[in-house]
Amino acid sequence: MGDFSFRKLIFAFVIVTLVWASSIETCNARRGGKHWRQSRGTLSSLYKKKGKNDHGHKKQKSKQEQQQQQPLPTPEEPLAPPPKGSKFNVLDYGAKGDGHSDDTKAFQGAWADACKVEASTMIVPSGYEFLVGPISFSGPYCQRNILFQLDGTIIAPINANAWGKGLLQWLEFTKLVGLTIKGKGTIDGRGSVWWTKSILDDPIDNEEQLVVSSYNTTLTQNPQVSSSSLVGKMPSIKPTALRFYGSFNVTVTGITIQNSPQCHLKFDNCDGVLVYSFSVASPGDSPNTDGIHLQNSKNVLIHTTDLACGDDCISIQTGCTNVFVRDVNCGPGHGISIGSLGKDGTSACVSNITVRNINMHNTMTGVRIKTWQGGSGSVQGVLFSNIQVSEVEFPIMIDQYYCDHSTCKNHTSAVAVSNIAYENIRGTYTVKPVHVSCSDNKPCRDVRLTDIELKPVSKGYHMYEPFCWQAFGELYAPTIPEIDCIQQGAPSSSLDPDEAGCAA
Ligand SMILES: *[C@@H]1O[C@H](CO)[C@@H](O)[C@H](O)[C@H]1NC(C)=O
Ligand SMILES: *[C@@H]1O[C@H](CO)[C@@H](O)[C@H](O)[C@H]1NC(C)=O
Ligand SMILES: *[C@@H]1O[C@H](CO)[C@@H](O)[C@H](O)[C@H]1NC(C)=O
Ligand SMILES: *[C@@H]1O[C@H](CO)[C@@H](O)[C@H](O)[C@H]1NC(C)=O
């Protein structure tokens, strides 16, 4: 190899090195810029021209300057992540909060940035009313422990165009870990435009359908959200106001959800749910407006909550286990229900549910278990304790013949119901104090009634005596009124609940 070609080689090497080094620099500079923006916590600089102010992020500046003085990381080091706990205010992303402008994009933008930062806060400030269309705060690639600080009001579009052919939810949080929604804000579904025409359909009892089709419902178009006048006919599928799907350790506290078109707050496939100091407010005659709906969710605690709605205050559906509900006011509404379960021959499994310290006022049922004929699976390990009822139509109900229309086919199979305790259930009823109607083939087992004191309040209806059918267990007398229809011991047909296909 001659001297000349050796020099050429050296030269080439130097060039390659320089190019490589400069590309690293560019990369760092770009990342650095992004980092700088995120550490400001906002995109406020972008919006300053429009006269937005800095929304109080100046405090972070000195810290941020320190960070900028530090040398850039060497190529081998991982790039510094944006600072934990950054704040992202929807106003800095162009939200108007005037109740008329469409703020959906601003919410999407703020979420996109909050999502990237562990323990970040997305701020929806007080004193504003944000009109937001259907939106999915989708989390499979988001960091943990994001706080959605909701102090303002979020309102739903009442323009039919915004809902396409119909969506199952309005605001959705999916696949998140440690997400918290907190604040003194309100989510208002403005449901009255949905309630008027469809008193007869009952989508709540079509839950199986709702789960299957939940993925292809995100709007990709740019629907017209912001017309404030009612345009067009609302779709027949009514959205849940706020839904969590496939998430771990989620918390909802402080906020109110009102006037949802359908269910207010729903958790599907979640593990670790905490709801407290929370309210639902909707009229008693709003159709299918469950308060809190749980499905395929476990390790759930709901407490210190006021629920007023047109359907079940709390509905516990298939796949739920380890659910604890305490200190809840319910009414108007349909009470706290397990089910309906086993529709269309499906299998349902619900276990370890505790409901205690509940006040029910003016509800249809009090504490209830409802299953369809023809289902399979089981409900086992339920305690209803300390339930104060006032003018409740049916305070205690187990119904294994649930049917939401006038007649349903008779079937022999049923969701097995066992180990159900009612203790300290007191107050007034308006129709029938106890209705326990169990399957001929799978009688209810181990139903225990203790400290029952229910007195009639006549509202002009016909009053009924306690009713039981195929109900086995224990009655700890005396009760008011006298209940003599619970059969002592176990039914002759022996059923191992584990046979029903639910893991113990
Ligand atoms: C959603 O997906 C289901 C199942 O893949 C399909 O049957 C249905 O038509 C889809 N709906 C829409 C609106 O795309
Ligand atoms: C949820 O919280 C529990 C209890 O604090 C914890 O053990 C569990 O690891 C958390 N789950 C996730 C996915 O972080
Ligand atoms: C039942 O659920 C409660 C929460 O309500 C939980 O503390 C308890 O460990 C669960 N029991 C079993 C046996 O899993
Ligand atoms: C179902 O069974 C009940 C009680 O045995 C009976 O009164 C009713 O007519 C049956 N219904 C149908 C649709 O067969």
Q: Give the pLDDT score at 503.
A: 72
Nearest to 468 by CA among 424, 434, 432, 493: 434
Q: Which of 118, 142, 180, 248 to mutate to test the pocket of ligand 2 (most atoms within 8 A of CB)?
A: 248
Q: Is 352 a pocket residue for ligand 3 (Cβ < 6 Å)? A: yes
Q: How big is the chain, counted in residues?
A: 504
Say what percent of the chain tops pLDDT 70. Answer: 75
Residue 350 has pLDDT above 60, yes or no: yes
Look up the CATH number of domain 335-492. 2.160.20.10
- pLDDT at residue number 405: 77
pLDDT by residue (tens digit) across 226-261? 655 555 788 999 999 999 999 999 999 999 999 999
Phi, psi of 182 (to 5 degrees): -145, 150
Q: What is the DSSP annotation of 327-364?
A: EEEE-SBS-EEEEEE-GGG-EEEEEEEEEEEEEEESBS
Report which of residues 406 and 455 the model is more confident about: 455
- pLDDT average, residue stretch 116-142: 95
Q: Contact, 245 vs 214, CB < 8 A? A: yes
Q: Which of 17-26, 43-52, 86-95, 426-435 has the lowest mean pLDDT?
A: 43-52
Q: Please say whether the beta carbons of 165 and 198 come within 8 A.
A: no
CA 127 remoteness from chain centre: 25
Predicted pLDDT of residue 462: 77
Ligand 4 pocket: which of 410, 437, 439 to mutate (most atoms within 8 A of CB): 410
Average pLDDT over residues 18-46: 38
Residue 463 confidence (pLDDT) above 90: no
Is the beta carbon of 494 within 6 A of some atom in ligand 4? Answer: no
Nearest CA to ligand 3 atom 8: 322
Q: What is the mean pLDDT of residues 334-349?
A: 96
User: Tokens in use for 123?
Assistant: 């701020």
Q: Mind telling me the catalytic residues?
A: 334
The most confident of the ranges 188-192, 194-198, 462-466 is 188-192
Residue 60 has pLDDT above 50, yes or no: no
Mean pLDDT of 377-385: 97
Per-residue pLDDT, 477: 82
Atom of ligand 2 nearest to the CA of 178: 14
Where exactly does CATH 2.160.20.10 map onto the chain?
83-330, 335-492
Question: Can you give the pLDDT at residue 197?
Answer: 57
- Report the pLDDT value the prediction gives residue 218, as an integer from 0 to 100: 39
Ligand 3 nearest atom to the CA of residue 381, by list position: 1
Atom 9 in ligand 3: residue holding the nearest Cα: 322
The pLDDT of residue 233: 84
pLDDT computed for residue 470 by the predictor:
96
Q: What is the pLDDT of residue 85?
A: 85
Give the mutation target among 168, 215, 216, 217 for probing the ligand 1 site: most ligand atoms within 8 A of CB: 216
Q: Whose CA is nearest to atom 1 of ligand 2?
A: 249
CA of 217 to the centre of ligand 1 (A): 8
**Per-residue pLDDT at 139:** 79
For residues 131-148, average pLDDT: 95
Per-residue pLDDT band for 407 (boundaries 50, 70, 90) equals confident
Using DSSP, state whether 185 is helix, strand or coil.
Answer: coil
276-329 pLDDT, tens digit each: 999 999 999 999 999 999 999 999 999 999 999 999 999 999 999 999 999 999
Distance between Cα 248 and ligand 2 center (Å): 7
Q: Is the pLDDT of residue 412 over 80?
A: yes
Kind of pairing, strands 121-124 and 135-138?
unpaired
Helix (H) / strand (E) containing 476: strand 471-476
Confidence of residue 25 (pLDDT cuts 50, 70, 90): very low
316 alpha carbon, closest ligand:
3
Q: What ligand is nearest to the CA atom of residue 144? A: 2
Give the pLDDT score at 40: 37
Residue 124 CA to residue 146 CA, distance in Å, equals 13
Q: Which residue has the higher pLDDT, 257 or 56?
A: 257
User: pLDDT band at 8, cuts 50/70/90?
Assistant: low
Is any atom of ligand 3 closer than 6 Å to the C-beta of 322? Answer: yes
Q: Pick the range with the lowest mean pLDDT from 16-20, 214-218, 364-368.
A: 214-218
Mean predicted lDDT score pLDDT of the chain: 83
CA dihedral (495, 497, 500, 504) in degrees, to 10, reads -160
Dist. CA 30–CA 93, nearest whole Å: 21
Domain at 83-330, CATH class = mainly beta
Closest-approaching ligand to the CA atom of 356: 3
From ligand 2's centre to the CA of 321, what distance in Å? Answer: 16
